[in-house]
Chain A
Amino acid sequence: DSGVTQTPKHLITATGQRVTLRCSPRSGDLSVYWYQQSLDQGLQFLIHYYNGEERAKGNILERFSAQQFPDLHSELNLSSLELGDSALYFCASSASTGAPDGYTFGSGTRLTVV
């Protein structure tokens, strides 16, 4: 157990629907990062929050949005889902905004859009 909790582990939904993925960072970590990993692909950076504030944004689609709450958990909202959104979505956390001590990843949410 890495200490980063992602729910749900699996999600199957239909095109056009909206889903919310949840992430609780490791205790004491203030940064949360979201990544998308399609089949046999690398990790595509979506967004980074630090202590409730957005710090960096990747090529995140307008249909996707995220936020980090006062208790530091984060949610990634995906709307108007398309088949191509099927992927593994990882959340990671770190103590600060940097990477030298490494990101701790959760076990991911596997999203299947049918």
Chain B
Amino acid sequence: GQSLEQPSEVTAVEGAIVQINCTYQTSGFYGLSWYQQHDGGAPTFLSYNALDGLEETGRFSSFLSRSDSYGYLLLQELQMKDSASYFCAVDSSYKLIFGSGTRLLVRP
């Protein structure tokens, strides 16, 4: 079977750094993706890690450790507009399997 675990909620202060962790168990694995979804909106693609290590895209970075079946999304210099749900997703044989999502609340 396939399962992904991520915290249900995280709260942080504007300007701070927050890390959202994701652990996964899957029968097939090609990479780990991260998506952002604002309330009532469509998910939008943030990053994809196929290999171990850190990928940086502006204020967002994503990390993968294949041996530990673990990844995280790092958000720096948090802004109010970053308040949203963040989903990790495993790329597994012609489909993305999504976690249940982490709701991030950024406080002033």
Contact = CB atoms under 8 A, between A and B. Distances in A.
A56 B87 CA distance: 21
A99 B33 contact: yes
Q: How large is the interface on A (under 10, 10 to 19, 20 to 34, 35 or more residues)?
A: 20 to 34
Contacts of A64: none
A94 B100 CA distance: 22
A90 B96 contact: no
Nearest to B103: A40
Interface stretch (B13-21, B39-47, B68-76): B39-47
Interface string B88-108: 010101111111110000000
Contacts of B31: 99-100
A55 B94 contact: yes
Given A42-B87, A55-B94, A97-B94, A102 B99 contact: no
A106 B42 contact: yes
Interface of B: 30-31, 33, 41-45, 48, 50, 87, 89, 91, 93-101
19 contacts: A2-B42, A35-B98, A41-B100, A42-B87, A42-B98, A42-B100, A42-B101, A44-B98, A45-B95, A45-B98, A92-B43, A97-B94, A98-B30, A99-B31, A99-B33, A99-B91, A103-B43, A107-B41, A108-B42
